[in-house]
Chain A
Amino acid sequence: MPVEPMVVLDGVHKRYGDTAVLSGLDLRVERGEHVTLIGPSGSGKTTILRLLMGLEAVDAGTIHVGGRCLTHMRRRGAVVPADEKHARAVRRTIGMVFQQFNLFPNMTVLGNLIEAPVRVLGMSEAEATRRAAELLELVGLTDKTHERPTRLSGGQQQRVAIARALAMRPEVLLLDEVTSALDPELVAGVLRLLRLIGESSDITILCVTHEIGFARDFADRVLMFDGGSIVEDGPPERLLVEPRVPRTKEFLAAVLEGR
């Protein structure tokens, strides 16, 4: 029996008002795979991650995560759109890190890290705190444990946000341009952390980024997006070096020129 893919999108449609963002997108991501999404702004990369995280609802199509359907559920034999409770149960296996960090300003760094493990996973506060200490060590911010997030630099905040997502022990991690809001000198630290996480865990990672160099050595597979569909799909060594589709070529040239 073949191992089931970790993430499966089947014929996913999504529109905002009059703009159709995704029209029948199919996507498969294997367990433990690191997939990088590249493509011009507005091509629908964020939308895919938000749909996976359950922050938006699909208009049509289905999404499965870890073999469980996120978008629909069975009720009395019939398949109906998922209700809040069902969606929350499936979402628990997914973590997301945002471009703008989105830390809770009313809690300390530690508070941000233990909030969900305690309230959602039902972990004891002591246990959650112990785990948080490990994660803060991993992200190199042990000395900031009791700080307010607003007193940290952007890079430090983003490392806390990554630790916060990991604290929920997600099976799938979604990273949406996590270095785009950072000052240039802070980018390297965050990317180094992501590489470390990629190497030391078996989490499935979907990562939107414009850091082509990072994508090359981090990803198992790169997806080039344009206008809501995948225009090219391949291993980074090939796709980023010798793109076959003109659109990819143009995009990579534009991004590299921007450096």
Chain B
Amino acid sequence: MTGIWDWGYAVEVLPALLRGLQVTVLATLLGSVLAFALGLVLAIVLRARVPVLHRVVRAFVEFWRSTPLLVQAYVIYQVLPDVGITLGSLAAGVIALGLHYACYTSEVYRAGIEAVPVGQWEAAAALSLPRSRVWFGVILPQAVPRVLPALGNYVISMFKEVPLLLAIGLVEVVTVARQLSADSFRPVEPLTLAGLLFLLVSLPASILVRRMERRAGAG
């Protein structure tokens, strides 16, 4: 038995942890893409005020973001197979993340869309642009750059929430760390390294987002 910290063991487990981190990052990126796309759809539905749909979506968004992601992941991973939809851990995890965070990004888009001056809608209407051109040609190109920093912050939040997907069997970095410590009865190195890896990714990412915020604020 060596001391509190065994450098040899730490170096030994690092490659496995890094492979786990890749999965964490992959899940984050896929989840982000889904959250960005779905959030935009939700925002447009809410904004367009389609009679009944708008109320249903609104209630769902409120409900979904005030309940734990962990339970939502269980629903997607364990309940969907009962109705014939069987998903792997990664797919289920990405959907859970994407759906949960879409409820937040829709709010971000809403704020961004509201920040576009009313005159822009009126100008587009005056030109009789079709509905889709108004959205994708006029409004969104102005709204999206403004909300990028806020979206970036949610990507970082998602990254830190990926580990809870270990509950549905996703072999991400914390799962790897837990397996390693179970095999060796030495939890110190793997779990501490896993924590440091999170810092290593999320600190530069936050600095990047802060820089984006400053630029968005200045521009």
- Whether the complex brings A and B within 8 Å at their CB atoms is answered no
